[in-house]
């Protein structure tokens, strides 16, 4: 199984928050939620984005996002680890949610995903595919373009996200 440290680094993609990651994670879990991903969006105004879902996987409400925003803000303000000004955004992962942890791949087996790799595999650095199977921390995909079956260790997947399909 993939180590917790690996998962925390994939979920918390803002280095300044490494020290606070366990506390933030625990606090949010106690409230009945799970952190999907934390990133800093660089633009004219920096935005610290927390993607959150309910632990029971039911839909999260705007009211719950506002409550979590206040809780997260209190923790961040107490430590003041991010020097620049930023906006805090708390949201659901949405339809094209990131797939980060091994359990995400298992949960969305049969779904179409966009995958980017850290290194080439059969001359591919990225592809769109169905998640076919998950076993022993390896993910098996069926490439949409050429129907190639691709089995990869989770460690070489840089990022992946669901692809919204209306049909």
Give the domain ranges of the chain. 4-91, 98-162
pLDDT in the model for residue 165: 79
Is 48:80 a contact under the CB 8 Å cutoff? no
Q: Which fold has domain 4-91?
A: GMP Synthetase; Chain A, domain 3 (3.30.300)
List pLDDT tens digits, range 40-98. 999 888 999 999 999 999 999 999 999 999 999 999 999 888 888 999 999 999 999 99
Q: Say yes or no to pLDDT of 2 above 50.
A: no
* CATH number of this structure's domain 98-162: 2.30.30.180
Q: Which residues contact 37 (CB under 8 A, 6 or more apart)?
A: 10, 11, 13, 49, 50, 51, 93, 98, 100
pTM: 0.86
pLDDT in the model for residue 167: 60
Across all residues in the chain, what is the average pLDDT?
Answer: 91
């Amino acid at each position: 199984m993939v180590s917790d440290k690996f998962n925390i680094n994939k979920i918390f993609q803002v280095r300044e928050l490494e020290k606070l990651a366990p506390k933030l994670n625990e606090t949010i879990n106690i409230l009945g939620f799970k952190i999907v991903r934390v990133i800093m969006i660089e633009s004219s105004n920096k935005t610290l984005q927390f993607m959150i879902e309910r632990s029971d996987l039911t839909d999260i409400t705007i009211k719950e996002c506002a409550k979590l925003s206040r809780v997260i803000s209190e923790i961040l303000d107490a430590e003041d680890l991010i020097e620049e000004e930023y906006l805090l955004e708390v949201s659901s992962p949405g339809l094209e949610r990131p797939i980060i942890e091994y359990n995400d791949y298992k949960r969305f087996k049969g779904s179409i995903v966009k995958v980017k790799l850290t290194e080439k595999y059969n001359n591919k650095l990225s592809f769109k595919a169905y998640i076919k199977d998950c076993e022993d921390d390896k993910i098996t995909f069926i490439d949409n373009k050429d129907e190639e079956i691709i089995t990869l260790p989770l460690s070489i997947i840089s990022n992946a996200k669901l692809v919204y399909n209306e049909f």
